[in-house]
Amino acid sequence: MTDTYNKPGVMSNTPEEVEFELRAHIGSIWTGGRLFIGMYTFMIAALAFSYFYLRSSNNSMEWRPNHVTAPTAYGWAIYGCTAAMSLLAIFGQSRLRKGQVADWLVAGWTAVGIGLLALFLQLWEFVALPFYPGSSGYASTFIGFGVMNVITLFVTTYWLETSVARAHAMKREFGAGAVLAKTAEARSWRANVASMTYFQGFAVLVATMLLLMFYVL
Amino acid sequence: MTISAERPTDVVTTPPSINGAVRRGGWFSQHLGTALVAAIVGYLFGHWLGNHVAGNYPVVVNSGVNDVANFFGLLFGVIGWLLGIGALNYPLAKIAGRSGIEKTQDVEGFSKYFRYSTDHKTVGLQYVIGVCLFMFTGGLLAMAIRTELLNPTIHVFSPGTYIEIVSEHGTIMMMMATSIVLGPLGNYLVPLMIGSRRMAFPRIEAFSFWIFTAGYMVIFSALPYGGFPTGWTGYAPLQNQAGPGMISYLFGFAVIGLGMMTAGFNIAVTIVNYRAPGLTWSRVPMFVWSILATAALLTLATPVLFSAGLFGILDRVDQTAFYVAEHGGSSYLWENLFWFFGHPEVYIMALPAFGIVAEILPVFCRKPLFAQKVGAAGMIGVALLSFFVWQHHIFQSGINPDMRPLFMLTTELISIPTGFIFLVGMGTLYKAKIRYELPMLFSLALFFNFLIGGLTGVFLSDVPVNVTVHGGFFVLSHFHYTIMGGLLFAFMAGLYYWLPKMTGLMLNKKIGLWQFWLMFVFFNLTFFPMFIIGLLGQPRRVYTYAKNLQGLNDFSSISAFILGFSFLIFAWNLAYSWFIKPQKAPANPWDSLGLEWQTATPVPEHNFDRIPVIMTDPYHYSEPGAQALADLGGVGSSTGNPA
Q: Is pLDDT at B387 greater than 50 in this prediction?
A: yes
- Report, as an integer, the average pLDDT of B196-208: 95
Q: Is pLDDT at B636 greater than 70 in this prediction?
A: no
**Structure ipTM:** 0.94
Q: Is pLDDT at B4 greater than 60 in this prediction?
A: no
Q: Where does A71-216 have alpha helices with state H? A: 72-97, 101-125, 137-174, 184-211
Domain that holds residue A108: 16-58+71-216
pLDDT at site B24: 52
Are the Cβ atoms of B333 and A2 closer than 8 angstroms? no
Candidates A3, A4, A16, A37: best to mutate against B (most CBs of B within 10 A) is A16
| Chain A residues inside the 8 Å CB shell of B590 | 1
Q: Tell me whether residue A149 is in a domain.
A: yes
pLDDT at site B2: 43
| Chain B residues inside the 8 Å CB shell of A3 | 586-587
| Chain B residues inside the 8 Å CB shell of A144 | 307, 310-311, 314, 320, 322
Q: How many residues does chain B have?
A: 643
For chain B, give the percent of residues with pLDDT over 70: 93
Q: Which residue is closest to B633 within chain A, CA to CA?
A: A12
Q: Tell me whether residue A63 is in a domain.
A: no
- Report, as an integer, the average pLDDT of B168-187: 93
From B17, B1, B14, select the one nearest A184 (Cα to Cα): B17
**Mean pLDDT lowest among A142-146, B304-308, B540-544, B626-630:** B626-630
Contacts of B436 by beta carbon, 8 Å cutoff, 6+ apart: B364
pLDDT at site B101: 60
**pLDDT band at residue B642 under the 50/70/90 scheme:** very low
Q: B591 touching A, CB under 8 A?
A: yes
Return d(Cα B408, Cα B461) in angstroms, integer: 6
For B466-512, the pLDDT digits (tens) are: 999 999 999 999 999 999 999 999 999 999 999 999 999 999 999 99
First to last CA, chain A: 70
Q: Is pLDDT at B8 greater than 50 in this prediction?
A: no
The CA dihedral of B590, B593, B594, B598, to the nearest 10 degrees, is 90
**pLDDT band at residue B21 under the 50/70/90 scheme:** very low
From A100, A104, A80, A79, select the one nearest A90 (Cα to Cα): A104
CATH of the domain at A155: 1.20.120.80
What sign for the dihedral angle of Cα B90, B92, B97, B100? positive
Between positions 63 and 122 of B, the ones with CB within 8 A of A are 94-101
For B23-78, the pLDDT digits (tens) are: 555 556 889 999 999 999 999 999 999 999 998 888 888 888 899 999 999 999 99
Angle at B99 between CA B14 and CA A180, to 5 degrees: 100
Return d(Cα A74, Cα A146) in angstroms, integer: 11
- Report, as an integer, the average pLDDT of B122-147: 95
pLDDT at site A7: 56
- Report, as an integer, the average pLDDT of B177-197: 94
Q: B307 touching A, CB under 8 A?
A: yes
pLDDT at site A13: 85
Q: Tell me whether residue A64 is in a domain.
A: no
Q: Tell me whether residue A120 is in a domain.
A: yes
Q: Tell me whether residue A4 is in a domain.
A: no
What sign for the dihedral angle of Cα A179, A183, A185, A189? positive
Q: How far is A3 from chain B (nearest CA, A)?
A: 5
For B424-455, the pLDDT digits (tens) are: 999 999 999 999 999 999 999 999 999 999 99
Q: Specify the fold of B118-584.
A: Cytochrome C Oxidase; Chain A (1.20.210)
Taking each helix axis from N to C end, the angle separating B331-365 and B489-503, rounded to the nearest 10 degrees, works out to 60
Return d(Cα B571, Cα B566) in angstroms, integer: 9
From B230, B272, B274, select the one nearest B252 (Cα to Cα): B230
Number of neighbouring beta carbons within 10 Å of residue A47: 24
Low-confidence ranges of chain A (pLDDT < 70): 1-8
- The full set of domain ranges for chain B reads 47-99, 118-584
Return d(Cα A70, Cα A73) in angstroms, integer: 9
Return d(Cα A217, Cα B18) in angstroms, integer: 53
Q: A34 touching B, CB under 8 A?
A: no
Which pTM does this prediction carry? 0.93
Return d(Cα B234, Cα B335) in angstroms, integer: 9
Element (H, E) at B614: strand B613-614
**Mean pLDDT, rounded, of chain B:** 91
The CA dihedral of B30, B34, B39, B44, to the nearest 10 degrees, is -130
Return d(Cα B544, Cα A49) in angstroms, integer: 39
| Chain A residues inside the 8 Å CB shell of B15 | 11, 13
Q: Checking phi first, is residue B308 left (phi over 0); if not, alpha (psi -120 to 50) or beta? A: alpha
Are the Cβ atoms of B586 and A10 closer than 8 angstroms? no
Between positions 173 and 212 of A, the ones with CB within 8 A of B are 184-185, 188-189, 192
Q: Which residue is closest to B306 within chain A, CA to CA?
A: A43
- Report, as an integer, the average pLDDT of B353-365: 96
Mapped onto helix, strand or coil, the DSSP state of residue B583 is: strand
Alpha carbon separation from B394 to A52, B335, B354 (Å, rounded): 19, 7, 27
- Beta-strand relationship, B630-631 and B505-506: unpaired
Running DSSP on this structure, what letter comes out for residue A63? S
Report the domain count for chain A.
1
| Chain A residues inside the 8 Å CB shell of B398 | none
pLDDT at site B63: 83
Q: Which residue is closest to A64 within chain B, CA to CA?
A: B328
Q: Tell me whether residue A7 is in a domain.
A: no
Q: Which residue is closest to B271 within chain A, CA to CA?
A: A28
Contacts of B611 by beta carbon, 8 Å cutoff, 6+ apart: A17, A20, A21, B3, B195, B197, B276, B277, B633
Mapped onto helix, strand or coil, the DSSP state of residue B11 is: strand
Task: Label residue A100 exposed, middle or buried (CB < 10 Å: 0-12, 13-18, 19+).
Answer: middle
Q: B237 touching A, CB under 8 A?
A: no
